[in-house]
Amino acid sequence: MSQTDRTPPPPDPLPVAVLDAHTHLDMLGGDPLAAIAAAGAVGVTRLVQVGVDVDSSRWSAALAAAQPAVLATVAVHPNEAPRLADLDEALRAIEGLARQPRVRGVGETGLDTFRTGEAGRAAQERSFRAHIQIAKDTGKALVIHDRDAHADILRVLDGEGAPDTVVLHCFSGDESFAVECVKRGYVLSFAGTVTFKNAQNLRDAVQVTPVEQILVETDAPYLTPMPYRGRPNAPHLIPLTVRALAHTKGVDLDELCAGISATGERVFGSWAG
């Protein structure tokens, strides 16, 4: 079976339209336009397509320019940065793309001490600092990848001075890290991982995060929510994660959807414009 054949079926539609704040349509293995349509059919009417290197960032920017339901972010991924022969050249290309009108974020950038070893750390942090500067120069949101690096993420952001808008993609911290991020005005984007049985730390983080600072994402094709963990993810599965968030926070589903939608437009700007 192909990857798309194994993609789980659509859940019940949401009562109020939301967005998928972080997705990789280029990695799904099927027709991106079909994935966008399937998402729209369950109330996921807007998507943020995320680049991870120069090529995928170009692809993301072009898709956003052509599709009203899509905005893009552009970056060199923190695990990619140490592998590049010429990081500066890549950063210049990212900066150019970041100035495009339907590119609304710089990311995913950040730190990953899980997959990048000691030897790559300096290049990774240099790349992160450069992306922070690009976000500030272009006035776009900074979209952060943080894997096993919570304290270092805050150290670098506090040191550089954070851009006006910061999103922690696939928030993976606990309650105390969430409190630190909320205090700084950052937006926490929760993925399918909040539905995992062993993820009480994430549900504790959700509890202390105001609705105005919550986004929801798939990170498709990764991090498929329960009950489909292990199968390929897609933007049309967002309703599973939104329902889990509403249950965890004890808030009305309509209210949470409206809040997430408003936060998405505050962070990335209007999809219509």
Residues that bind Zn ion (CB under 5 A): 219
Nearer to Zn ion, 168 or 246 (CB): 168
The minimum distance between CB 221 and Zn ion, in angstroms, equals: 10
The minimum distance between CB 252 and Zn ion, in angstroms, equals: 29
The minimum distance between CB 250 and Zn ion, in angstroms, equals: 29
Nearer to Zn ion, 20 or 219 (CB): 219
The minimum distance between CB 253 and Zn ion, in angstroms, equals: 26
- Which structure tokens are listed for 203? 């549900």
Q: Which 8-state DSSP code applies to residue 134?
A: H
Nearer to Zn ion, 105 or 163 (CB): 105
Nearer to Zn ion, 53 or 219 (CB): 219
Nearer to Zn ion, 87 or 167 (CB): 167
Helix and strand numbers (H, E) in the chain are 9, 8
The minimum distance between CB 22 and Zn ion, in angstroms, equals: 6
CA distance 24 to 31: 12
Find all residues with CB under 8 Å of 173, minimum gap 6, and list them: 146, 150, 181, 201, 205
Which H or E element spans position 126? helix 121-138
Asked if 138 contacts 156 with a C-beta cutoff of 8 angstroms, the reply is: no
Q: At what angle do helices 121-138 and 87-98 cross, to 10 degrees?
A: 20
Nearer to Zn ion, 125 or 146 (CB): 146
CA distance 18 to 38: 14
The minimum distance between CB 190 and Zn ion, in angstroms, equals: 13
Find all residues with CB under 8 Å of 62, minimum gap 6, and list them: none
Find all residues with CB under 8 Å of 134, minimum gap 6, and list them: 91, 94, 95, 98, 106, 140
CA distance 235 to 46: 10
- Residue 143 neighbours by CB distance under 10 Å: 31
Nearer to Zn ion, 246 or 267 (CB): 267
Which residue is at the shortest CB distance from Zn ion? 219
The minimum distance between CB 217 and Zn ion, in angstroms, equals: 8
